[in-house]
Amino acid sequence: MKRTFLITAAVAAASFTALGPAHADARYPAKPVTMVVPFPPGGGTDAGARLIAQQLSKRWGQSVIVENKPGAAGNIGAEAVARAAPDGYTLLVGNVGTQSINQSLYKKLSFNPDTAFAPVSLIAELPLVMLVNPNVPAKSPKDMIALAAAKPGEIAYSTSGAGSAMHLAAELFADGAGVKLMHVPYKGGGPAVQDVLGNQVPMTFATVFESSGHIKAGKLRALAVTGDKRSPALPEVPTMAEAAIPGYNSISWIGVLAPAATPPAIVDKISADMRDVLNQPEVKERLLGLGATPAGNTPAQFRAVIEADKRRYGKLIRDKSISLD
């Protein structure tokens, strides 16, 4: 009798374990979820995170809390999530920097972005815009190429720091155009844009989110967007590929990731719910208002984006010998 009971119990336990992820999927989330943004409040990553958190909270009937953990180009917040319990209750809202760029810039990272996370879904793509002060005698990227060719290494551009998406977009432009530019790094995108507004620096590459108001007010001139298609927020501005450099494509993006060992059923549920939310007309409208293009996708598709950008930017970083440690 005892032996029969033990066998029955073992079979039941095995069955419960096998069904665990599916049951976890059905119950999830049973308590508040935290989304860690590894940057300060107010930027594009933070704005996108707060929008998706608000919508998921409505859908799930649970609080979705956005927690900012800035520092070290996003590495501090990313590491906190990498070391969190893999139960779906602590998620990372990362971007192209934290997932595809930083591992090439920082040789001494205490975690491996390739193995520490399970990609869930993109939230949005954020193309950059090539911007100049209105006093600069350039109406197109080809005009800027001509200016830079006439003064090698003298035409400056501002960025949010070495290795940032702004920096790499500018270096891809310089490489594609065959010109040399002067890099002027700042501590953040805001100050970088501010000094172009003040004509201390002639040019920058900034997100539509950061720059569209200044463009519409005539305080900055937009020469091209860096994505492979025009931005819905600036439909009159050509892509860099259209205007000057065929094949040019350099965008930022934001997306949600979970700790690596999170059950696949939970990852798939979050991803599916995010895609549903991102298809809602009001959510699309709000993201487009931020200068972002909604881009929900599957975990496998998101991983492919991360890998493609890692190869693209990793090569550029190696070729330019860019390092931050």
Q: Which of 9, 3, 75, 84 is nearest to 39 (CA)?
A: 75
Look up residue 214 and give its two tokens.
Answer: 């200044």
Q: Which domain holds residue 182?
A: 128-243
Q: Which residues, in sequence order, are CB contacts of 35 under 8 Å at separation 6+?
A: 49, 52, 53, 64, 65, 66, 67, 91, 92, 93, 256
Residue 185: asked if its preceding bond is cis (omega within 30°), the reply is no
What are all long-range contacts of 233-240, with beta carbons under 8 Å and residues at least 24 apart?
A: 233/208, 233/288, 233/289, 233/291, 234/129, 234/208, 234/291, 237/129, 240/130, 240/141, 240/173, 240/176
List Cβ neighbours of 170 (8 Å cut-off, separation of 6 or more). Answer: 157, 159, 181, 183, 203, 204, 205
So what's the pLDDT on residue 125? 93
* Same domain membership, residue 260 and residue 117: yes
Q: At what angle do helices 264-278 and 281-289 cross, to 10 degrees?
A: 80
261 lies in a domain?
yes
* CATH number of the domain where residue 223 is located: 3.40.190.10
Residue with tokens 């007010």: 217
| 256 and 188 within one domain | no
For residue 109, give both structure tokens. 């990272």
For each of the chain's 325 residues, which pLDDT tens digit applies? 444 444 444 444 444 344 444 455 678 999 999 999 999 888 889 999 999 999 999 999 999 999 999 998 899 999 999 999 999 999 999 999 999 999 999 988 999 999 999 999 999 999 999 999 999 999 999 999 999 999 999 999 999 889 999 999 999 999 999 999 999 999 888 899 999 999 999 999 999 888 989 999 999 999 999 999 999 889 999 999 999 999 999 999 999 999 999 999 999 999 999 999 999 999 999 999 888 999 999 999 999 999 999 999 999 999 999 988 7
Distance CA 304, CA 309 (A): 9
Task: Quote the CA–CA distance of 55 and 125 in Å, as a whole number.
Answer: 18
* CATH number, domain containing residue 304: 3.40.190.150
Whether 325 is in a domain gets the answer no
Question: Does 137 lie in the same domain as 119?
Answer: no
How many structural domains does the chain have? 2
Distance between CA atoms of residues 250 and 248, nearest Å: 7
Residues 146 and 210 in one domain: yes
Euclidean distance between CA atoms 154 and 223, whole angstroms? 19
Q: Choose one of 243, 272, 292: the last residue of a domain.
A: 243
Query: Tokens 């920096």 — which residue?
Result: 167
Q: What Rg value do the Cα atoms of the chain yield, rounded?
A: 22
Full-model pTM: 0.85
CB 125 within 8 A of CB 227: yes
